[in-house]
Chain A
């Protein structure tokens, strides 16, 4: 269980980091989504993995799993979802206005991106 979860977190993070290092907004947005999935699973695991246990008070419960990470993950999911939406809109607006979807920090007077799409 631990090995599977940590492997998944590692895989998601690796994919996310590789994608955000690409110079195009679409790749970067997908990469950020991967990273936020990795973070969500990671936060979830920070309260220890306890399958089949209840997070809320229940007279019949055998034991409890830590409820706090679940609340944290919920907050993190909502925030990253909203942020991704904002980023998509801004990236789209920027692409339509400038004709460039580069995410590199260039000179202030960068013209339209003339590089070929991959």
Chain B
């Protein structure tokens, strides 16, 4: 029996509801349910990955493009797997350090966040994408202020305001898209945008840029990155570790719209997305590493590392060639894991026993991955990106290489600050080491099995670049 595509959305939603109804105040049961749900999501992602893709499903059996459809292709399943895997690791860390005791409703909010993320990756409808963005945002608002405190509340308010402005822009963009094309189904829009009369080209370009701005806010692209360092540094480190994947939602949406709805081949769009995203990506990368150099404390350095990672991903994606998309996806997976590990280490450092030799060794390994040094996969990812952007080498290579050096200096300084300050070594609780070690293990796997992983990602990138199978899956539901 094949599970419905809607299962990865329903499972965390039902789990969260169950927790609120039956397990209020029973932390043990909440933890068990939370872990079962996250493990179930991993199993679902593996199941989808090993079966025929792309798959499409009409919700309520309404024919496309009028009803809402769910679509799962390689990219969707990759993101589902990344989120589910990271969720399991973060939950294991929460079990070890007891962060969920700091405030009510950590686990229900966590599950609703997973629901929003999965929904955003699965939906084939632009308006439903907006709805799932709101679902994941409203749970993230709760998680940012988890545990309370003045700094978190202050940062939380600014985070909410920024994202509400983003949501407003999203709605305006969708309104323009609907008024111009008469559709909101993403696969259906692909055909409609490609055949727009020249009189409507200006309008659809405005809509395309507005939607891109929304995704740029999510992905923290310069100049829309100001909200990120304050928010991620103030929120609990375990939450920030999961948020490492939230900037990737912006990258996912920009990639999906840039390849499917607003591709280079559409006469109305042309090279609009690539010409905007390349300078934005390079600037983001530069701002990210300069921020890492100037930031005080491991949390803020990790927050700026998220920005730098987002910038690097967009430097690759902005070419919109299969080779560059594959390189960008590879770097995205590895940098998400690396930055999440950095946040988990930030959590360890802040607790008793955090300055021990084991943590320092882990930090050293994670810093290598974040900075993109050999032998870990960050280096391979950057190499792939440099290769894929050979045509713009004069612009891309100096920025990527220089920023790697600056990131290395920043992380080196942070490491010596944290671990060579003459404090007496302490013993760390072994249980809290499990999650960072797991993430490091995942990074090792992406390094050792780089070739097969890259082959899979190249297939995904090819299917994104020429989305005939994706469009056919939607057509079958008409």
Contacting chain A: which of B87-95, B168-176, B211-219, B387-395? B168-176
Contacting pair A97 B157 (CB below 8 A):
no
Contacting pair B178 A46 (CB below 8 A):
yes
A86 partner, pick from B141, B148, B184, beta carbons under 8 A: B141
Contacting chain A: which of B56-64, B111-119, B159-167? B159-167
Interface flags for A64-96 (1: CB within 8 Å of B; 0: not) read 000011001001100110110011001101100
Contacting pair B161 A32 (CB below 8 A):
yes
Contacting pair A82 B138 (CB below 8 A):
yes
Say whether B134 faces chain A, with CB atoms less than 8 Å apart: yes
Closest to B231 in A: A105
A-facing residues in B213-246 (Cβ within 8 Å): 226-227, 230, 233-234
Interface flags for B389-409 (1: CB within 8 Å of A; 0: not) read 000000000000000000000
B138 partner, pick from A69, A83, A104, beta carbons under 8 A: A83
Classify the interface of chain B: helix, strand, loop or mixed.
helix
Residues of B close to A20: CB separation below 8 A: 161, 165
Classify the interface of chain A: helix, strand, loop or mixed.
helix
User: Contacts A79-B134, A94-B156, A103-B157 given: A39-B168 contact, CB under 8 Å?
Assistant: yes
Total contacting residues, chain B, CB less than 8 A: 35
Residues of A close to B168: CB separation below 8 A: 32, 35-36, 39
Say whether B300 faces chain A, with CB atoms less than 8 Å apart: yes
Closest to A20 in B: B165
Say whether B350 faces chain A, with CB atoms less than 8 Å apart: no
B175 partner, pick from A46, A75, A97, A98, beta carbons under 8 A: A46
Residues of B close to A28: CB separation below 8 A: 161
Among A47, A48, A86, A90, the most chain B Cβ lie within 10 Å of the Cβ of A90
Shortest distance from the beta carbon of B105 to any chain A beta carbon, whole Å: 13
Say whether A43 faces chain B, with CB atoms less than 8 Å apart: yes
Closest to B183 in A: A68
Contacting pair B154 A100 (CB below 8 A):
yes
B151 partner, pick from A32, A68, A83, A108, beta carbons under 8 A: A108
Contacting pair B234 A108 (CB below 8 A):
yes
Closest to B177 in A: A46
Closest to A107 in B: B230
Say whether A110 faces chain B, with CB atoms less than 8 Å apart: yes
10 A-B pairs with C-beta separation under 8 A: A20-B161, A20-B165, A35-B168, A36-B168, A39-B168, A43-B171, A46-B175, A46-B178, A48-B179, A103-B157
